[in-house]
């Protein structure tokens, strides 16, 4: 081969190389990646470089699948999307049934549907799926829970292919990039079990009759057709939860919460209290009173002496421990067999708990229909806040607002669930003073976009959004400086 022939080959090879570099933008991408690394100067630059190279891969969807799965609290639906960058999963709990074994056996055959889903999405560039939730909503033959499972999986795909953390991607989707912070955990550390009110079939109390119960007389109540009796054959749960307040590190906060939880469980094991285990693995304890249960948790928190500020929240189960009486409500916070309290006595008791233990959140305090109780609660809180301010204790209770406004400085979570903007607006219009925080169950929505739209609406009407794993909690407080929470119950 002559020298000229070699020269021609070299020129041809050089042209091929130049074209290849231009085709894949190698030079410009290398320049961007190296500039990012030297600007941010990460501890492990090679990992950062590798991740940026992975993000430059041309994304491609390989398969989309739905399946039934067994999860910790029953049966769930799992959406799985596989791309050239990995496998991404979204899992939603199925609606609970009385026959959990039957629901596990009767799983759905997704083979034909999965072939349809894979053929619809295969080879599609995930980065072009800006309207992914619209596409999912239009797919026939899948129900609401299946749509949500797929939506979660696809949004995980999109965050990965955009080289964003999931919370950063969601913030970008919701146009709140400048406001979102990484969530912190909260932990339910104790469930207080009390004898509940036996209501009609609409009650959500757990029926657990025993032989002893059958021998005990019940007190009839004829003041309301919806009430059948007061009895101790129902078990109602009052949850006690701990919140890290001033931590900026998720792992640190998690470790502190788990340390407190372990101490609580160790002390309970050595006690003579009647203890069972709930479906979520948390100790369910028959404490004589709600105050004793809160005091027990508070003492454990103080004994650990955590490096971060830990606050306590309670779920009073007020809707399940109340009865209408003479156009008002009576409450049974210590169980149906205890002496009932008027709504004034009951609210005074909870306010004192808040003052004594600096509670950060009070959920399901009163019955949603107890308008007199709601008005009394608002006035009582306003009066208490004024007293604490005059006593110069405002810093201790963070009276600038923990899920509240100038007259209500504690996160009051109503026992209500909404999945549409119209329902939320109707409730706020007709019940402005019942609570300042409303729980949204993610499982009730079709897609992640629906959830984000609800959050955006809440913000537009002055409600701050607090996220949790199982629910979304929205809080009426424009000055709330508490970060989002992830419930790891």
DSSP, residue by residue, 159-214: HHHTT--HHHHHHHHTT-TTT----EEEEEEEEEEEEEEEE-TT--PEE---HHHH
Residues 438 and 428: their CA atoms lie apart, in Å, by 10
What sign does the CA torsion over 293, 217, 230, 340 have?
Answer: negative
CB 94 within 8 A of CB 76: yes
Residue 349: the pLDDT is 94
Residue 2: the pLDDT is 57
Domain at 184-487: CATH architecture: Alpha-Beta Barrel (3.20)
Residue 64: the pLDDT is 93
pLDDT above 70 covers a percentage of the chain that reads 71
Binned at pLDDT 50, 70 and 90, residue 301 comes out as very high
Per-residue pLDDT at 381 exceeds 90: no
pTM above 0.75, yes or no: no
CB 286 within 8 A of CB 193: yes
Residue 1: the pLDDT is 52
Residue 100: the pLDDT is 47
Residue 93: the pLDDT is 79
Binned at pLDDT 50, 70 and 90, residue 233 comes out as low
Per-residue pLDDT at 392 exceeds 90: no
Q: Mean pLDDT: which of 290-304, 317-331, 431-445, 447-461 is highest? A: 290-304
Who has greater pLDDT, 331 or 99? Answer: 331
Per-residue pLDDT at 337 exceeds 80: no
Residue 303: the pLDDT is 96
CB 103 within 8 A of CB 97: yes
Residues 399 and 405: their CA atoms lie apart, in Å, by 9
pLDDT in tens, 242-277: 988 777 788 889 999 999 999 999 999 888 888 888
CB 323 within 8 A of CB 340: yes
pLDDT in tens, 77-102: 899 999 888 899 998 877 654 444 44
Instruction: Give the Å distances, CA to CA, from 225 to 228, 322, 324, 366.
Output: 7, 14, 10, 20
Residues whose CB is less than 8 angstroms from the CB of residue 94 and which lie 6 or more positions away in sequence, other chains included: 68, 74, 75, 76, 77, 103, 145
Instruction: Provide the mean pLDDT of the chain.
Output: 75
Residues 54 and 193: their CA atoms lie apart, in Å, by 51
Who has greater pLDDT, 233 or 75? Answer: 75
Per-residue pLDDT at 231 exceeds 50: no
Q: Mean pLDDT: which of 1-5, 73-77, 124-128, 144-148 is highest? A: 144-148
DSSP 3-state assignment of 20? helix
CATH superfamily of 61-163: Enolase-like, N-terminal domain (3.30.390.10)
Burial of 99 (0-12, 13-18, 19+ CB in 10 A): exposed
* Across 346-368, average pLDDT: 88
Residue 8: the pLDDT is 60
Per-residue pLDDT at 209 exceeds 50: no
Domain boundaries, the chain: 20-56, 61-163, 184-487
């Amino acid at each position: 081969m002559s020298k000229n022939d070699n020269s021609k080959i070299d020129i041809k090879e050089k042209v091929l190389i130049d074209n290849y570099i231009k085709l894949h933008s190698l030079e410009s991408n290398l320049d961007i990646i190296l500039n990012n690394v030297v600007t941010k100067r990460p501890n492990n630059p090679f990992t950062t470089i590798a991740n940026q190279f992975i993000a430059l891969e041309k994304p491609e969807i390989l398969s989309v699948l739905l399946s039934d799965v067994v999860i910790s609290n029953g049966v769930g639906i799992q959406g799985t999307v596989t791309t050239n960058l990995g496998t991404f999963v979204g899992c939603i709990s199925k609606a609970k049934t009385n026959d959990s074994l039957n629901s596990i056996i009767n799983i759905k055959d997704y083979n034909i549907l999965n072939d349809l889903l894979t053929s619809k999405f295969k080879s599609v560039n995930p980065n072009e799926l800006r309207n992914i939730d619209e596409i999912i909503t239009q797919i026939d033959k899948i129900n609401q829970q299946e749509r949500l499972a797929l939506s979660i999986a696809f949004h995980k795909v999109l965050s990965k292919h955009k080289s964003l953390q999931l919370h950063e991607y969601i913030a970008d989707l919701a146009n709140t990039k400048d406001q979102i912070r990484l969530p912190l955990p909260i932990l339910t550390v104790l469930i207080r079990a009390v004898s509940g009110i036996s209501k009609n079939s609409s009650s959500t109390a757990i029926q657990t009759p025993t032989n002893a119960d059958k021998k005990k007389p019940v007190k009839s109540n004829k003041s309301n057709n919806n009430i059948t009796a007061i009895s101790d054959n129902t078990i109602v749960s009052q949850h006690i939860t701990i919140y890290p307040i001033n931590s900026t590190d998720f792992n640190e906060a998690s470790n502190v919460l788990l340390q407190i939880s372990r101490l609580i469980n160790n002390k309970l094991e050595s006690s003579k209290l009647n203890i069972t285990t709930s479906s979520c693995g948390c100790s369910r304890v028959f404490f004589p009173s709600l105050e004793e249960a809160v005091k027990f948790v508070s003492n454990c928190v103080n004994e650990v002496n955590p490096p971060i500020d830990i606050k306590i929240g309670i779920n009073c189960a007020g809707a399940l421990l109340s009865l209408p009486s003479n156009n008002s409500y009576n409450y049974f916070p210590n169980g149906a067999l205890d002496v009932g309290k008027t709504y004034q006595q009951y609210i005074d008791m909870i306010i004192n708990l808040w003052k004594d233990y600096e509670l950060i959140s009070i959920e399901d305090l009163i019955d949603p229909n107890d308008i007199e109780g709601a008005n009394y609660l608002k006035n009582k809180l306003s009066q208490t806040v004024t007293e604490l301010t005059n006593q110069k204790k405002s810093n201790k209770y963070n009276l600038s607002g923990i899920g509240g406004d100038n007259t209500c400085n504690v996160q009051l979570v109503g026992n209500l669930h909404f999945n549409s903007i119209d329902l939320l607006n109707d409730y706020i219009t007709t019940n402005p003073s019942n609570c300042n925080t409303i729980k949204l169950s993610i499982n009730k929505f079709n897609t992640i976009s629906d959830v984000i739209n609800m959050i955006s609406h809440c913000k537009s009407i002055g409600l701050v959004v607090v996220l949790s794993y199982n629910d979304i909690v929205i809080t009426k407080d424009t000055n709330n400086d508490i970060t989002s929470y992830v419930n790891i119950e």
